[in-house]
Amino acid sequence: MTKFQNRCWRENPLSGTRSTSPRLASGRRGSQLMAKTALLLSAVALCGAAYAGTSEVQLSGNIDGGVRYTNAPGSTLTSMNNNGLFKSNRLDFTGSENLSNGYSVHFLLESGFNIGTGQLDNTSGVLFNRGSWVGITGPYGAVNFGRQYTVAHDVLFHFDPFHFEYPSILPILGATGGARFNQDVKYMGHIGSLHIRAENSFGGVANNFSSGSARGLGGWYAARSWAAGAVYEHRSVKAGSLYNPDHFYGLMGSTKFGKLNLSGGYFNELEEYTQVIDNVRTQHYFFGGSYRIAPRLDLAAAYYIVKLPNTDGQRKQDIASAAYSLSRTTTLFAETDYTQFSGSYITNASLNPIHAPHELGFSVGLNILF
């Protein structure tokens, strides 16, 4: 992690990008160069005066590389998951500044990338697709504004046996009510051991506050040896020229016995259609645990079920994993998983391109935090 303390980020008038050192183009006339240099020096002076308090900007992230082998009837594949196997590849710019009376401000810009090609991890070319928000923290909690994780994501993270590890292999991210919302305002606070989350994502549709919007409320209570959580999300999802309601709720719990942690949960999502189409229901179940067998070695296993009642579709997945910490930031990992499909999970090519009834997978790799 790299820190840049008491440094003012500013707009470079020559390149139109943010920079910490002006880059002057050659071939400019002397008067233009002097004027722009004076402007930059003035901006630096103003920034130094305005941000004399305690503040910092940090560069951090995650690099994950590995190899995955899958074997299904009629198809075998050995590949590198370029977006990350154990954890997603990402680059973070975070900043904070301490204000008076217990208040502080903060921001995050998070970009995902493909380790094999160096490209962004999305096809739409969004630079900070993983997150971009600014917020303020005070005695009664924090409020963030921007593109950020949903309330369902925040709550489920504490109960998933893998805490969202192996994101490209496991189906659990589908139980996060959309994973991220744009134009989202989210509150985060706690009262003792009770943690609270609430949010509103603005749809931005003229003359209709609800269309395209989303709202969520959730939380969890964490005692010494057990925890319980619940969440509800309501979205207005665009389908063609119409906006359809989407209801999502989840219940989950966990307990621990020494070094053994056990957790499980249930999630239900219902998309209502105003057209002549049946409502679509998706159900998620999970149960698993983790055990620290040695100071540097963690074992984990879990069972995930996804059901599509409308089409009798079902996906069942078992996974077992071992993660060995070479250092505080470097982890060797290996996992094996077995997935069974039935109903529309076999017949629907968008869910199962090779229409395989089952699949066996192995993955191994190295993950580095910085």
pLDDT at residue 194 above 80?
yes
Distances (CA, A) of 261 to 1, 167, 225: 30, 20, 9
Q: Is 78 exposed, middle or buried (0-12, 13-18, 19+ CB in 10 A)?
A: exposed
pLDDT at residue 4 above 90?
no
Q: How much of the chain is in helix, strand and coil states, percent to nearest 5?
A: 10, 55, 35
pLDDT at residue 115 above 60?
yes
178 confidence band (pLDDT: 50, 70, 90): confident
Cα(216)–Cα(248) distance, rounded to whole angstroms? Answer: 9
Position with higher pLDDT, 343 vs 46: 343
We find that the CATH architecture of domain 55-64+90-316+344-353 is: Beta Barrel (2.40)
Cα(291)–Cα(257) distance, rounded to whole angstroms? Answer: 10
DSSP characters for 199-235? EEE----TT-SSTT-EEEEEEEEE-SSEEEEEEEEEE
Q: Is 66 exposed, middle or buried (0-12, 13-18, 19+ CB in 10 A)?
A: buried
Q: Where are the domains of the chain?
A: 55-64+90-316+344-353
pLDDT at residue 35 above 70?
no
310, 281 in Cβ contact below 8 A?
yes
